[in-house]
Amino acid sequence: MADLTFYTNPMSRGRIVRWMLEETGADYDTVFVRYGPGMQTADYKAINPMMKVPAIVHKGKTVTECAAICAYLADAFPEAGLAPTPDERADYYRWMFFAAGPWEQASTNKSMGFEVPPDKSGMAGYGDFDRTLSTLVGAVTAHPYVCGERFNAADVYVGSHIAWGMQFGSIPPTPALQEYVGRLMARPAYTRGTEKDDAAIAEYGPPMPAG
Ligand SMILES: N[C@@H](CCC(=O)N[C@@H](CS)C(=O)NCC(=O)O)C(=O)O
């Protein structure tokens, strides 16, 4: 048994963490948690009181939130080279937090039909959807990777948002974004992660029924 346990559902944001885990090369156990009552058990609530996936428990410590998990794993497995170099750190923190905060909120609100009234955009952390989108797109198209010339954990997290946004229609698939996502999807760890989660879906059947 590994000292790293990954709690996920294969049809969830857990796919981001799965990819990150595969990038680290770490040995880990996977626990699939079903939607609904499966996430509301006392045991799982003790791991994540939000009753959401993903979560990891590493050496007795729990980490939730995809962005935090990606950053944590990059630090915990430095030999994988996924943590930022000193020169990359400014972009790394900036765009990880931007994607987890303003972009997550803007894209969720958009998909649910919530709009910030124009006279209230100064009070919304993301301002408005279009500004948030163009800022995010600018960040990932300025260089081959989020922090410059080198792939790191920020690409796992930010790049997953870009790929999902293009897939679900909230991000226009420009050639520059398609090239960026193509570089990410060509990574063997991305393929391994996708295959593992798709195999779990095939085994359990979508959408992993409750209970
Ligand atoms: N902010 C969290 C979001 C986690 C989240 O919303 N997970 C969804 C699946 S993608 C979930 O577990 N939903 C089940 C529920 O809320 O009942 C993160 O980044 O990890």
d(CA 90, CA 39): 36
Give the pLDDT confidence score for residue 27 in this predicted structure.
98
Give the pLDDT confidence score for residue 196 in this predicted structure.
98
Cα 13 to ligand 1 centre (Å):
7
CA 39 to ligand 1: nearest atom: 17
Cα 193 to ligand 1 centre (Å):
18
pTM of the model: 0.97
Cα 152 to ligand 1 centre (Å):
23
**Range list for CATH 1.20.1050.10 in the chain:** 86-187
d(CA 7, CA 52): 9
Give the pLDDT confidence score for residue 209 in this predicted structure.
58
Cα 33 to ligand 1 centre (Å):
12
Using a 6 Å cutoff on CB, does residue 35 contact ligand 1? yes
d(CA 207, CA 101): 27
Using a 6 Å cutoff on CB, does residue 33 contact ligand 1? no
**Range list for CATH 3.40.30.10 in the chain:** 4-80+190-204
Domain spanning 86-187 has what CATH number? 1.20.1050.10
Q: Which parts of the chain register pLDDT below 50?
A: none
Using a 6 Å cutoff on CB, does residue 116 contact ligand 1? no
Give the pLDDT confidence score for residue 207 in this predicted structure.
64
Give the pLDDT confidence score for residue 126 in this predicted structure.
97
**Topology (CATH level 3) of domain 4-80+190-204:** Glutaredoxin (3.40.30)
Spatial CA neighbour of 116 closest among 107, 124, 125, 105? 124
